[in-house]
Amino acid sequence: MIKKTLLLLFFVLGLGACDFGHPAASATDTPKGASPLAFQDDHVKYNGQRLDFTQNLSSWIKVLGSNHRTAFPNDPSIVVWDDLGIRVYTDFPKSQRVVTASVTLRGEPEDSPSYIPPGEGVRPRRDYAYSVLVNGVLVSKNTRVGDVAHLSGGRLRIDCSRGISICGASRNDDNFIQIKTYFGVDDRRYDSTPYVIEFGPGHNPPE
């Protein structure tokens, strides 16, 4: 339980990362198909409806639906939409403002130290069924994380941390630097495909 909690905190708060080069993806690696969910600049779009990190949880519920649960009985800060494969974190107890959006592309295997059964805790019962648009790049559960920078046409860089299974996507300009994107990966790091994508300012949302 402690390991799971620490991993969760690393996702939300963000960690420093180390940069390593990686070969470019081929065209056949690029995911195809429309995505209802987009992480773009400083906001989220779901089925064409915009959500941002100045809004409270109630606004997100209007868009994502009322069929949700809290991840833990004594912690209302994490809200999970089991059927969508999506969860959000709020700035509770300070406020109900949403500070991070997260999508599960595939659950970690049972032999993983951070394995959580489907529908328990922060893990949705179902994985997200589509690719996710991440600053213009369609990312699926089959996309190599190390290829995202190439697929972005130079808009993004990817840095994978040492000692923890997280890779960060950073913009190559000074716009929206308060918004963080993290991929949950396995020990292959750059060669891994993503388990989870986290997006948002974390616990320091813009005023």
- Provide the residue-wise pLDDT of the chain in tens; the chain has 207 residues: 333 433 443 444 443 333 333 333 333 333 445 589 999 999 999 999 999 999 999 999 999 999 999 999 988 999 999 999 999 999 999 999 999 999 999 998 898 888 999 999 999 999 999 999 999 999 999 999 999 999 999 999 999 988 788 999 999 998 898 999 999 999 999 999 999 999 999 974 443
Whether 207 is covered by a domain: the verdict is: no
Q: Does 101 map to a domain?
A: yes
In a domain, 7, yes or no: yes
Whether residue 29 is contained in a domain is answered as: yes
Distances (CA, A) of 17 to 14, 20, 114, 167: 9, 10, 20, 7
**Residue 206 placed within a domain:** no
pTM of the model: 0.82
- The DSSP call for residue 137 is E
Domain of residue 61: give its range: 2-200
Considering its fold, how many domains does the chain have in total?
Answer: 1
